[in-house]
Amino acid sequence: MNQEEIKSHIPHREPMLLLDWAELAEDSRSHARFTIPEKPFFCEGHFPGNPIVPGVILCEIMAQACFPLFMEDLPGKLALYRGLDAVKFRSTVKPGDECEITARLVDHKGNVYVCDAQLSVAGKRAAQARITVALVPQE
């Protein structure tokens, strides 16, 4: 799915739509890609002269990349964070970097979904997390 197709499934819009492309692969994993803009708003002041993508943004990129895993249950609902566990940051991500994200569904009970995700740049793992979301009715 390209960005326009992604928008038909999740409510995020620019500048907080942090996926360029996503798919549910035959291996039951989601695969996604996002290229960090050259001058992203979230790097203003983080850090002057040495912009680094904040860890919380990397978590949001990974969380958004999980949506294909529960896409069929999304209509009329929002996926809201319930938890972030086992978060690790292994290397910095900078403006212009192309992020490759993979995620897999670990558990699903009722409206709660638990996913393991990892984000890599140039084949090197930069971040990973266990992400728990709850699907709640959209108001």
Sorting pLDDT into bands at 50, 70 and 90, what band is 40? very high
Which tens digit of pLDDT belongs to each residue from 4-33? 999 999 999 999 999 999 999 988 999 999
Number of domains in the chain: 1
Domain of residue 72: give its range. 3-137
Q: Any bridge partners for residue 120, and if so which? A: 100, 125
Q: Any bridge partners for residue 80, and if so which? A: 134
46 is an active site residue: yes
In this structure, what CATH number is given to the domain that contains residue 33?
3.10.129.10
Q: Which pTM value belongs to this model?
A: 0.97
Given the residues 9, 12, 46, 108, the one annotated as active site: 46
- φ, ψ of residue 127 to 5 degrees: the values are -155, 155
Q: At which residue do the structure tokens 């529960």 appear? A: 70
